[in-house]
Amino acid sequence: MIHLVRHGETAANRDRLALGRADPPLTDRGRAQAARLAEQLVDSGGARVVSSPLRRAQETAAVIADALGVGVETDVRLVELDYGEWDERSFSEFPPEDLARWRRDATFSPPGGESLAVVGERVASFCVDHIGGPEVIAVSHVSPIKAGVLWAMNADPLLAWRMHLDVGSISRIGAPNGVPCLLGFNATAHLDPR
């Protein structure tokens, strides 16, 4: 099984900005979310913690790895979609015709960025490498996690636009009968205050 974990909150997430390769740290709330993720995942069966190279994912992964008593491995295939010139901007600032095209064409790339199709290919490679092995906790970002879920369901990459994924959430994919499938999506109950 692959536990697909979205990193904790950053200021850009809080402000609802597109956040790709920009590299802000977690907020205090994001660090609290990482601690709750660690509590939730400590008995998950995950033997390895693999993370995107970006700071927000690495910070989240470090808290989880500490709870499991393992190190953090880095895999660039888990890095967020490159928004290029649109990074750290509001979706309302994007040219409407470009945004409309992006939502109907998986090969569309923001200026200087990458497409959903490219993200899907690199995440599929990660999933193929890990789906049949020991359980792994993969700390990543909204677009790669959606791509992993869509890979498991053999679904169109454009369905990513119809999925909502919270910061600090857990989604799970596996292959219990030898065929990849979605086992859980956007679980956030662990984030509720006690």
- Select from 72, 54, 63, 60 the least CA-distant residue to 30: 60
Q: Which of 3, 7, 130, 141 is catalytic?
A: 7
User: In the structure encoding, which two tokens stand for residue 66, read together?
Assistant: 């500490």
For residue 123, the one-letter residue type is V
- Residue 158's nearest CA partner among 114, 106, 82, 97 is 106
Active-site annotation holder among 3, 9, 59, 80: 80
Q: The domain that contains 46 carries what CATH number?
A: 3.40.50.1240
CA 166 to chain centre: 10
pLDDT of residue 194: 54
Residue written as tokens 């015709």?
97
Q: What is the mean pLDDT of each run of 10 residues along the chain (194 residues)?
A: 97 96 97 97 89 98 97 98 96 94 96 97 97 94 98 96 97 94 96 72
Residue 193: what pLDDT?
Answer: 63
Domain of residue 184: give its range: 2-191
Cβ atoms 148, 158 nearer than 8 A: no
Q: Count up the domains in the chain and report the number.
A: 1
**Torsion (CA) 92, 33, 183, 54 in degrees, nearest 10:** 60
Catalytic residue status for 88: no
Q: Which of 113, 144, 118, 143 has its CA nearest to residue 50?
A: 144
Question: Is 80 one of the catalytic residues?
Answer: yes
